[in-house]
């Protein structure tokens, strides 16, 4: 049975509204910039791809521009990121901190 509402603290929210708030909170945390190249972000990237067991949870999602999201695909984020001309160790550290830096994300 599918539900079209979620409970958020004390208010009942339509599922669409809850998803929108979830996504907006991630974009806001990163100032709507791609976590990889800092261009304006319009997608969320699963740092550990769903194909490899990554979950759709806040700690596994970062804002990404479409070119970065498409180019990274299901590659290891750190290996892919380090190969980019615009690689930045400060952004890499921020991503690692955001996702918790566990071995499954290295």
pLDDT tens readout for residues 14-44: 666 678 888 999 999 999 999 999 999 999 9
Nearest to 33 by CA among 56, 62, 60, 72: 62
Domain 13-105 fold is DNA Binding (I), subunit A (1.10.30)
In the chain, where are the structural domains located? 13-105
Task: Provide the percentage of residues in the chain whose pLDDT is more than 90.
Answer: 73
So what's the pLDDT on residue 15?
64
So what's the pLDDT on residue 106?
47
So what's the pLDDT on residue 104?
46
């Amino acid at each position: 049975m599918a539900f079209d509402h979620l409970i958020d603290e004390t208010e009942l929210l339509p599922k669409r509204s809850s998803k929108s708030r979830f996504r907006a909170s991630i974009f806001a945390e990163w100032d709507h910039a791609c976590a990889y190249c800092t261009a304006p972000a319009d997608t969320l990237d699963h740092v550990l791809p769903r194909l490899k067991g990554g979950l759709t949870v806040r700690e596994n999602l970062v804002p990404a521009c479409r070119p970065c999201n498409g180019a990274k695909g299901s590659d290891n984020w750190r290996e892919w990121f380090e190969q980019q001309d615009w690689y930045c160790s400060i952004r890499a550290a921020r991503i690692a901190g955001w996702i918790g830096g566990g071995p499954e994300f290295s």
